[in-house]
Amino acid sequence: MLEPSNICALILAAGRSSRFGESKMLAPLEGKPLIRHAVENTLEHLQNVRIVLGREAEKVKAALEDLILEYVENPHFASGMSSSIKAGIRALEHSQFDAALIVLGDQPRVPHKVFRTLLEAYHGSNAQIIVPIFQGVRGHPALFAREVWLELLALEGDSGGKAVIECDSARVQRVHFDFPVPDDVDTLEDLARLED
């Protein structure tokens, strides 16, 4: 683990689950809630983890109560992903962290290689943003240095950090992987495919 104390993971788990039809984060996958897979995966690489909650926040906390992490509640979760990013970044503004790794709570199987390579890239460069590219397609998790947090706080809607990433390519390091974007879960069918 590389200098984990100066990076905090922000796991976004506050969505409406509108396409899923029920609370996606609590849906069972291999005997445990979907969100637990993403959290445990992240904790293997970073000791500082905060999870942004919205829908059924108390139930999600109960599903994670034995894990060491902090919670951030997003009362505006229905307005889109940007509201969760902003809630998470606001919670870090007065912290000691130099960067935030934004992780999606509905991606339960991001390969360990992705986490390791992104963290190594951050510590080995001066880039303010580190993003993974999976067979030519940009994905998550993405790492944002403190220098761009004010831009994240200005986001609106459901586009995530795309606008900040695309604002200035000179400050972005793209890390390429020779496998597809890790699966995320938007529908019951997506979940069933992961169980296969």
Q: What is the pLDDT of residues 75-98, one digit of tens each?
A: 998 888 899 999 999 999 999 999
Q: How far apart are CA 49 and CA 58, in angstroms?
A: 17
Give pLDDT, residue 4: 56
**What letter would DSSP give residue 112?**
H
Token digits of residue 142: 């993405």
Q: Is the pLDDT of residue 72 over 70?
A: yes
- β partners of residue 75: none
How many structural domains is the chain composed of? 1
pLDDT tens-place string over residues 160-173: 889 999 999 999 99
Q: What is the pTM of this model?
A: 0.92
Contacts of 80 (CB under 8 A, 6+ apart): 156, 157, 158, 159
Q: Which of 93-107, 127-141, 157-171 has the lowest mean pLDDT?
A: 157-171
CB 34 within 8 A of CB 106: yes
Give pLDDT, residue 18: 52
**Mean pLDDT calculated for residue range 61-87:** 93
Give pLDDT, residue 5: 66
CATH of the domain at 16: 3.90.550.10
- β partners of residue 51: 11, 71
CB 102 within 8 A of CB 80: no
How distant, in Å, are the alpha carbons of 9, 20, 157 from that of 172?
Answer: 18, 33, 22
Other C-beta atoms lying within 10 Å of the C-beta of residue 142: 23
Give pLDDT, residue 74: 94
Give pLDDT, residue 150: 96
Give pLDDT, residue 195: 76
CA 46 to chain centre: 12
Range of the domain at 90: 4-195
pLDDT over 70, % of the chain? 93
Q: Is the pLDDT of residue 191 over 90?
A: no
Give pLDDT, residue 21: 57
